[in-house]
Amino acid sequence: MTGTITNGNGPIERKVQVTGGSTYTVSIPKAWANDREIGSGSPLHLYPFDDRLVVARPDADVPIRRASINVDAVGGEALSGWIEAAYAAGADEVVIDSETGFDSTERRIASESITRLVGIEISTESDHEIVARSLLDPAEISLDATVDQLRRIALSMHENAIRAVLGGNDESEELARHVVSRDNDADRLFALVSRQFYRALTDVREIDKLQTGRKVAFTRFRTARQLERIGDHAERIADIAIRQGEPPNADLEAQFESIATDARHVVRTAIDGETETALHRLDGVVERVETLDRDLYEAKGDDNYLHGQVLESIRRTAEYGGNIAEVVTLAEIV
């Protein structure tokens, strides 16, 4: 059997041989195998990976993905964002340090940021260092279930935010504040999807544990990204419900409610795979938003500007549904 190796990390070429009439074998150069701690009797797993096969040792120690964050360099105000980014990028361990020592605010921000994330907790803590480690088992995580939960939260936030704007009473303000508080739940779920997706990009074994494929994982990640943005706009609508002086009048109320319902239908039909229906509904929502926005501009009212912002968030929600439809369509084509 012939083959060449250009360098220690380059490709090797081998021909598949038949052994005993019912088994295929492929030889591995001994020196190449020894360099990778593969010997006689070593178990190997073969993974189908798009247009190739990947050989991986099931018992190999996977390097710990460690992210280091220096508070003195990034600043306390940005600390939360850095921790969330390290988690979403798939870090197994997040090390937060400070040469001068943490003040009470920095320690609180670090602790609260870690607590908000799924499956990670502080393992060690000192005056100058906080170490958080992941406890997640990819085999116990379902991307489909996580995205479905995110969908329910984001669309529920949107529906309740619209109700709060149209209600205009004390109960509506309480509902709006509840919507604002739920944005953290949406962010946590998106971070979890993002984390598993990025880990799957770099280790084929992660894909196997998630029991999915790279294309499916990518589709779930992009869908979750759109849903997280819908949650952000629901939070903005809820904030307007708190700030407005008066709710829209009865005529505008009916139109707002109808358009918002249609925007959510765009999202639902897109996720359900009815992409043509979703894109058709999107066109209708955009057209109706533009018409109502002109009516608001011409009408008199102290809160018309705020209600125009609500319309913009409704339009963006529908457009995110359109983005999901495009993602689903592309996944079916490729």
CATH number of the domain that residue 72 is part of: 3.30.110
> Across residues 110-138, what is the average pLDDT?
92
User: Can you give the pLDDT at residue 313?
Assistant: 97
Model pLDDT for residues 75-108, shown as the tens digit of each residue: 989 999 999 999 998 898 999 999 999 999 999 9
| Same structural domain, 147 and 93 | no
In a domain, 96, yes or no: yes
Domain of residue 326, residue span: 139-333
- The answer to whether residue 308 scores a pLDDT higher than 90 is yes
Q: What distance in Å separates the CA atoms of residue 191 and residue 182, rounded to the nearest whole number?
A: 15
The percent of residues above 90 in pLDDT, for the chain, comes to 58
| Same structural domain, 196 and 313 | yes
| Same structural domain, 34 and 178 | no
Model pLDDT for residues 166-199, shown as the tens digit of each residue: 997 889 999 999 999 999 999 999 999 998 888 8
| Same structural domain, 113 and 156 | no
For the chain, what is the mean pLDDT? 87
pLDDT-derived band at 56 (thresholds 50, 70, 90) equals low
pLDDT-derived band at 1 (thresholds 50, 70, 90) equals very low
| Same structural domain, 247 and 109 | no
Identity of the amino acid at 269? T
Model pLDDT for residues 137-153, shown as the tens digit of each residue: 877 788 889 999 999 99
Cβ-contact 127, 71 below 8 angstroms: no
User: Can you give the pLDDT at residue 62?
Assistant: 62
| Same structural domain, 189 and 242 | yes
Please count the structural domains in the chain. Answer: 3
| Same structural domain, 88 and 115 | yes
| Same structural domain, 300 and 315 | yes
The 3-state secondary structure of 172-231, one letter per residue: HHHHHHHHHHHHHHHHHHHHHHHHHHHHHHHCHHHHHHHCCCHHHHHHHHHHHHHHHHHH
User: Can you give the pLDDT at residue 49?
Assistant: 60
| Same structural domain, 195 and 71 | no
Output the six-digit token pair for 6.
Answer: 């250009």
Domain C-terminal end among 134, 150, 178: 134
In a domain, 225, yes or no: yes
| Same structural domain, 145 and 245 | yes
In a domain, 147, yes or no: yes
Q: What distance in Å separates the CA atoms of residue 74 and residue 66, rounded to the nearest whole number?
A: 17
| Same structural domain, 26 and 129 | no
Helix 76-88 crosses helix 170-202 at what angle (to 10 degrees)?
50
In a domain, 47, yes or no: no
In a domain, 85, yes or no: yes
| Same structural domain, 165 and 143 | yes
Least confident of 38-42, 57-61, 268-272: 57-61
In a domain, 58, yes or no: no
